[in-house]
Amino acid sequence: MRAKIKIQDQTIAVDLSKPLDISIPLSDTNDNPLAWYLEKPLIEPVTIGDWVGKVSLGADVNFNTIIFNPHAHGTHTECVGHISSEVYSVNESLKSFFFLAEVITLEPEMEDEDRVISEKQIAAALNGKNPEALVIRTLPNGEEKRSRNFNNTNWPYLSEAAAKFIHDNGIDHILIDLPSVDREKDGGQLLAHKAFWNYPEAPRMHATITEFIFVDDHIKDGSYLLNLQIAPFCNDASPSKPVLYKIE
């Protein structure tokens, strides 16, 4: 289904029947990606006395309880409440759900023992564009990202200068295929988070960071319409389902 959408003072055409899902589904298997030293999510039927909420065991319905952490177990979107002493909910922070997005692909550069995405790389990839949302695919980009255990891997991250550059260019939403925009072990500095959200000086309440996405290789770099969908959790972060649509 083709549609014309007015966004950012321009009208674009997209085919809504051809979504490009860049989220990673959450499961209770070893195929689920992991970070922050947690085990896999737990999805199990409720048991009340002799009753078990599973149709295959005689129940009328499947009735599961799910235990997970949005930051550790898959694609999630977070607001400034993730790093603030004040309590802010991503469900209140994210007011709009369609954005012009730019997909870029970068190979992090070595700095000592770290792999870092620099301001120079971001600037070169954007080449003067100022989208509302920036989708960062990192190299290498193997399918194993969908189920990787990132614990103690010192994953690549955004430099503070890169995050500030994104902020200074008016980009309100970062989406990245890593567990965090910051270093795995940084002593709690959270430099990229703070630079992007301009925290604590003047926090950008509407801005979001989405982590743990996967951008398949068949999705080419360029401009897209982004539909950023979240579950309505009253929490600093929520499981999310970002979907891209190619602009025709």
Average pLDDT over residues 135-162: 98
The mean of the pLDDT values for the chain is: 97
Mean pLDDT of 209-221: 98
Could you report the per-residue pLDDT of 35-58, keeping only the tens digit for each?
999 999 999 999 999 999 999 999
Lookup: tokens for 9: 């003072």
Task: Measure the CA–CA gap between 94 and 197, rounded to whole angstroms.
Answer: 14
**By percentage, how much of the chain surpasses pLDDT 70?**
100
pTM as predicted: 0.97
- pLDDT given at position 41: 98
Residue 144, burial from CB neighbour count under 10 angstroms (0-12, 13-18, 19+): exposed
4 has pLDDT over 90: no
pLDDT value, residue 1: 83
> Which pLDDT belongs to residue 219?
98
- pLDDT category of residue 3 using cuts at 50, 70 and 90: confident
Dump pLDDT digits (tens) for 106-131: 999 999 999 999 999 999 999 999 99
Indicate the CATH number of 2-27+72-246 among 2.40.110.10, 3.30.70.3280, 3.50.30.50, 3.40.50.1360. Answer: 3.50.30.50
**8-23 pLDDT, tens digit each:** 888 999 999 999 999 9
